Amino acid sequence: MIHRLPGPTRPCTRVIVFGSLGTVKQAQLSARRLLLLVAGMALFLCGFGPPQLVDREIGPTARVSVGELRSWAEQTYTPDLTAASYLLYDMGSGRVLYEHNSTVARAPASLTKLMTALLVFERGDLNAVVHIAPDDLVGGATMGLAVGDVVTVTDLLWGLLLPSGNDAASALARYMGGNVETFVAAMNARAQELGLSQTHFVNAHGLDAQGHVSSAADLLMLTRELWGYPLFRSMVGTARVQWNGRDLSSTNEWLTTFDGATGVKTGTTDEAGECLVASVERDGRTVLLVIMGSQARYEDATKLYDAFRSAYAWDTANGRELSIINRVYDENGRVWFMHPTGAAPIVLQHQPGVPEVRSFRRLDMPRGDLLAGTQVGVLEWWAGAEMIGAQALVVR
């Protein structure tokens, strides 16, 4: 649902009045009347909120923090989930919109394999071949490897990320590090470099082990790091591939059951419960969800995404009909049309207890001729009486 903002209010007008001299009392009385008249005109012309066109001297008095915006949403739209930890992150605005216990360290199960994959993408030769050894067959989820198989690193990544093969994870760790222990040390070193402060790995596959933990916030950061690899996005967005005459099917059921699901990975152990990192794209916007310690991960993820869709909307003003307020003139009288640049701040839909969000234009025209792309002002976004963000206004 797109939140449509109201049209422009009338601009403020400066009034200069010249009058004749009189007695002091008459002058004082005239001054009072004049002040009341000017004040009345100002209220009539400007309305009772921030004006649509304003002087640069008029500035906001306060800003609303991201945390306050999130708390407004959660007052009305806190989902009831079974998950011990969760979060929802909007890729477009770069903000966590929902979170619960997101920095608590928990068993991550096979979400561990996201770090295994990251090191392979960053440092591995995807065309290299790996000879499968007996120690690679650690049990649990498998891609179906057998001792003596010769498999490319790319095929092992498919087996790691779709059926969540523990055999693929062990083979990759041994190949990349020379031995599993060296690779796990590299996993922990990379976690420190990324600032994953609640994360510590004991193995490369995610089977329960003492001290093997991560958090929803850390897993989000790890997934965002992986998102820069197109092959990773392709793999985790694929429901099924053929390898060596058998199907490798993704454990992520959302890929085939949830509208807009585009990835990424599941994890399940006795200690971790049901875990999920999922990406969803609808209406051109992508969000990442992280679910940990759930009893019903897909139900939890659906509730969390539905809460997000119910509580948030965007309005970049680009779809509105052009009007006189979208036009500016340079000193030679040429007309230019303004448009905002950069992502609009995320906007809460208007609900009881949530301030209505409006946009206002603040012009600051440069002297001389204009060129396409010249900034001529700022589009301010206000929640009630507080400014929550701004976009540059440029001409085209």
Catalytically annotated residues: 110, 113, 164
CA 114 to CA 219: how far, in whole Å? 8
User: How does strand 53-54 pair with strand 357-363?
Assistant: parallel
Task: Give the residues across from 338 on adjacent strands.
Answer: 395
Q: What 8-state DSSP symbol labels residue 326?
A: G
SS3 letters for 266-318?
Answer: EEEECCCEEEEEEEEEECCEEEEEEEEEECCHHHHHHHHHHHHHHHEECCCCC
For the chain, state the CA radius of gyration.
29
DSSP-assigned letters across all residues of 216-249: HHHHHHHHHHHTT-HHHHHHHT-SEEEETTEEEE
DSSP E strands in the chain: the ranges are 53-54, 85-90, 95-100, 129-131, 150-152, 240-243, 246-249, 261-269, 273-282, 285-294, 312-313, 327-329, 335-341, 347-348, 357-363, 375-383, 386-395
Q: Name the β-bridge partners of 287.
A: 90, 280
> Do 293 and 214 form a contact (C-beta atoms < 8 A)?
no
**226 exposure class (CB count in 10 Å sphere: 0-12, 13-18, 19+):** buried
CB count in 10 Å sphere of residue 313:
17
How far apart are alpha carbons 223 and 217 in whole angstroms? 10
3-state class (DSSP) for residue 204: coil
- Residue 327 and residue 336 in contact, taking contact as beta carbons nearer than 8 Å: yes
Task: Give the torsion through C-alpha atoms of 265, 270, 274, 276, to 10 deg.
Answer: -30
CA distance 225 to 394: 32
